[in-house]
């Protein structure tokens, strides 16, 4: 019970922080993007490549903000039937350049799995989780992604053979800005945990230092 209370408190603070960050960063970025677009129309042809890259990158930054901070919006959650097998295939495809870079192979074992939820948010969650799995193996290795049915649940398991975590480290997961990585944000797990919770799912971690980690996401099957 105590753990639940601490988590709710965490989420409340995160929600407020995220909402103000989204606001403060999104506005100047949107304004700059507008002016880049104006420039694009008047610069000489050979410069248009650069304005285009600028605009694309700003769009990317904006969508990262939106993706990471959607949970902070008070809007009702869109709930639709989502084909998790398809989502996980898309995750694998999206991350293929990243796996190549890290010498990682993704091994898929996907049965059918349908849940009710927000497809974009589920995609965001699994991208974040699989990214962490990849990043946990500095010398490369396999990431296993399995999807199967267990009673009335759909289970997604993501296993790596990476650096693993201690019990204490597992307890800190989801704390904003908690990151052990040099260039980490410490936002990935925070987003995952709050989104999965909002979709009535649950998540658990099995990990051993220097052996690897298994993350299991359970959702109600439909």
Which residues of the chain form contacts with ligand ADP (CB under 6 A)? 128, 132-133, 136, 160, 162-165, 173, 178-181, 184-190, 213
162 binds, among ligand ADP, Mg ion, none (CB under 5 to 8 A by kind): ligand ADP
- The helix (H) or strand (E) run that includes residue 212 is strand 212-220
Q: State which residue, 43 or 61, has the beta carbon closest to ligand ADP.
A: 61
Three-class HEC string of 59-81? HHHHHHHHHHHHHHCCCCCCCEE
Residue 132, interface with Mg ion (CB under 5 A)? yes
The residue range among 110-118, 169-177, 185-193, 199-207 that interacts with Mg ion, by the rule CB under 5 A, is: 185-193
Q: State which residue, 36 or 71, has the beta carbon closest to ligand ADP.
A: 71
Of 139-158, binders to Mg ion (CB under 5 A) are none
- Separation in Å, CA 134 to CA 111, 129, 145, 161: 22, 9, 12, 9
Closest approach, Cβ 127 to Mg ion, in A, equals 9
User: Which residue's CB atom is positioned nearest to Mg ion?
Assistant: 188
Question: Pairing relation of β-strands 153-160 and 104-110?
Answer: unpaired
Q: For the window 88-127, what string marks contact with Mg ion as x by the rule CB under 5 A?
A: ----------------------------------------
Residue 188, interface with Mg ion (CB under 5 A)? yes
Distance CA(158)–CA(82), nearest Å, equals: 19
Q: State which residue, 98 or 148, has the beta carbon closest to Mg ion.
A: 98
Instruction: Give the number of other CB atoms < 10 A from CB of residue 200.
Output: 13
Residue matched to tokens 């699989």: 130
Ramachandran angles phi, psi of 165, nearest 5°: -140, 150
Question: Pairing relation of β-strands 104-110 and 141-150?
Answer: parallel
Q: State which residue, 70 or 132, has the beta carbon closest to Mg ion.
A: 132
Residues within the interface to Mg ion (CB under 5 A): 132, 188
């Amino acid at each position: 019970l105590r753990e639940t209370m601490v988590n709710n408190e965490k989420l409340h603070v995160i929600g407020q922080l995220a909402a103000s960050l989204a606001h403060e960063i999104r506005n100047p970025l949107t304004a700059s993007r507008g002016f880049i677009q104006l420039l694009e129309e008047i610069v000489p042809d050979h410069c248009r490549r650069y304005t285009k890259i600028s605009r694309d990158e700003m769009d990317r930054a904006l969508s990262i903000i939106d993706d990471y901070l959607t949970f902070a919006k008070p809007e009702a959650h869109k709930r639709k039937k989502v084909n998790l097998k398809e989502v996980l295939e898309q995750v694998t495809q999206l991350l293929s350049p990243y796996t190549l870079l890290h010498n990682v192979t993704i091994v898929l074992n996907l049965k059918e799995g349908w849940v009710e939820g927000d497809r974009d948010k589920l995609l965001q969650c699994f991208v974040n989780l699989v990214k962490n799995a990849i990043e946990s193996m500095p010398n490369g290795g396999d990431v296993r992604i399995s999807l199967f049915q267990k009673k009335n649940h759909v289970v997604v398991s993501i296993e790596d053979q990476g650096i693993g975590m201690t019990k204490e480290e597992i307890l800190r997961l989801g704390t904003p800005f908690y990151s052990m990585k040099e260039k980490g944000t410490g936002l990935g797990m925070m987003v995952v945990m709050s989104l999965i919770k909002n979709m009535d799912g649950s998540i658990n971690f099995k990990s051993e230092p220097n052996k690897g980690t298994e993350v299991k996401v359970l959702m109600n099957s439909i």
